[in-house]
Structure 1
Amino acid sequence: MNPTEYQFTAEFAKKMDEDDPLAKFRDQFYFPKVNGKQAIYFCGNSLGLQPKTVKSYLDKELSNWENLAVDGHFHGEDAWYYARKKSKPALAEIVGAHTHEVVAMNNLSSNLHFLMVSFYQPTEKRNKILVEAGAFPSDQYMLETQVKFHGLDPESTIIELKPRAGEHNLRTEDILAKIHELGDSLAVVNMAGLQYYTGQLFDIKAITNAAHAVGAYAGFDLAHAAGNASLKLHDWDVDFATWCSYKYMNSGPGNISGIFVHERFAERPDLPRFAGWWGHDEGQRFLMEKGFIPMHGADGWQVANSNVLALAAHQASLDIFQEAGMEKLLAKSEKLTGYLEYLIQEISGKSGILEIITPKDPAERGCQLSLHIHRGGKAVFDEWYSQGVVGDWRNPNVIRLAPTPLYNSFMDVFSFGLILEQSLKKFA
């Protein structure tokens, strides 16, 4: 949508909502209240809202537990032994994969460690890891300890890419140039798909191609990309990836993660991994014998048996995703975020109070806009919250706002515009 078509009027926002084919999904979520009023919730990049169907999905499994007990593993609808399979079609659609390349399991940081066991096998010559500077702390800690586990020095082994002086975002050509420069010393690129602080969506395909060209693996933390950006992991030839489900996939605080492993590794039992019972060949699992035989595809990286209650909550949201469709969600996301961007620029003008540091090109971002606050600091965030805006403050001076297409409306964005207009007068 051309920015010149946007208008800072209630009539415009109302008409956009009336024409929105996804508008009905808003009523399928619970909204929190701030000061007794329904919040303008722009924090789906931190924790997605609860689908109203979650309770019924959980109640079904609690009933199975109540009535079947241990027999629930193999009897009744959706026997627990195969519980992971139900989420595969939706996950495959969301991340652009085949169903055998994805599985819901564990938590994100755990999955990063398990995947690095397989894909980070440093040698004396090839041991470098490339990551964006300012990666999410959990990723930084994971990389640091993985490197130390192999007896290497994180300071010299982990290569952090910083934006150019005076810029907030990494240029793709700089990422590719660094990969080329590292050459056969590079073992793995392990970056975010979408940078949590700036909101920049990286060119995953180009980065993967460059990594493979020098003989390195390419893996991505998709915590802020899965369910928020167009992903084609299989077609882009990505080696591995993982994500969490409690942000844009609305599965509940700290809920289950998921992984992607490209199908070319499906028949690689020789690939190092930390194995567990649930990754062992399903047909032979209950023979209870020694000798690990990995399951086909991503399932072979499972360790523990499925968390059935977590999967149930996860499925409540995934079913909504499949009904809505990623193509429609992404199309709305671009318009909704574009409208927020338009209002911020229109209202803040040359005030100098805030600056959008997220890339302007819709192809280089998801729905999140990160605002660098130049005057007022956290007081600006607190003022917005007092008016009912739930965003996310990140030290030292960034407010993240994520108008999520599954449940946010154009009227939400317009209402925020009114609050922004009034708040700027206080901090001018």
Structure 2
Amino acid sequence: MTPPDDPTAPTRTDSELLVEFIDHRYEPAFAEVVRRHGGMVLAVCRSVLGNTPDAEDAAQAVFLTLAQKAGHSSVRKHLVGWLHRVAWYVAARGAKARAIRRRHEEEATRMRNEILASHEEPLRLDALHAALNRLSEKYRVPLILHHLEGRSQAETAALLGCSVDAIAVRLHRARDMLRDRLGRLDRRGAVASAAVLAGAWGSAASAEVTPAFVATTSHAASAALAGELASAAAVSGQTLALTRGAINMLYWAKTKAVATALAIVLTVGGVVGTMLHANEAVAAAPTAITGVITKLQDGQITLRRRTGEVTVAIDKATVIKVDDAVATADALKVGMSTAAFVEGDKPATEVRAYSPKAPPAPPPPPAPPKVVTGLVSQVTAASIVIQPQIGPAITVAFDGTTRVKVNDRLAAAPELAVGMSVGVFYADDKPATEIRAYSRGVLTPP
């Protein structure tokens, strides 16, 4: 469906583009948002993950998270700051996953810590973004727009609805605040000079997003909006995991904010005991419910526990792992052992399921031993030759484990002699387990 007006016109604001995308599922509108801010997001991810495929996966995860959160007016209103914050989180999460995956700390550190060439002490790009992320929205957004996205002060002022003079003042104060925070992050407490900071801005500026990145990301965003992200062909498993992690982070960040606000209100009212109880109710860690899946329905799973069955809701934000690998709800099956992390009546934040292990197959029953009877026609140190009443002679081996009886008493192998009647128990190609021999005469059946 195509809206009546061109949604990608330069005069359209980011908020208007996202509304067009949400209301009409019009990919070009979202693609324009990716073109405008993709360079900044990719640069943030590269500052942590280096110029690697991991950085592109992380950048794509940021926009897929946006596709699922763009319906919130607060996200659209503070889009640039929101993108920077989520990009920083996703990249940091990706770096941690990569370090675990590679099991090689030196390599992970080298890839994560790209540094700048400068006449003074170099400033790490990830430290720059970490300090930038700590600034308030008022000062952080102008720095992102002006220094990372390369907009002029006039363009920045127009986007933020301020005068150029006001933006100039904010930028000046923001740079001072940033230098101070960079010093706090530095173990030595050093403050980055203006020259070092200027060089850092140049290296941290927007990266170039390719048309292919814009196209695949906007197409995957449409799938995310329709709740079909897991089936999108252009989305890697790593991107999917990072997207789910970002959505989970935003959920808990919102929960924490609500808990903090409630605590402040109750403290002002003087109800300290009630505050502690309410804060625990809102911000408590999720409860782990364990059991075996007995039923799968749309949007929920039923677990059998010792105390009875429990139904747990799940949704698109639920992180699902099957056998420790990120998966979709379709991978859940009846009979799986499962741990679901829930809080109150909300959908589970995470579901960890494990495929049932088949019980080991019982060993096959031992084959009954063969029994041959006849007269001994030949004896050696390790075998005897038996002549049955019907058929050819049979040679049967024996060893030190073979039980030998002569005339119903335990005996040794040398007592076996030609002409004895014998009954021999043995398996194919194995020494006899028992030999029962009788002196000359009729063989007694064993």
TM-score, normalised to structure 2, is 0.24
Bigger Cα Rg: 2
Greater RCO, 1 or 2 (C-alpha within 8 Å, sep 6+):
1
Instruction: Using structure 1 for the length normalisation, give the TM-score.
Output: 0.24
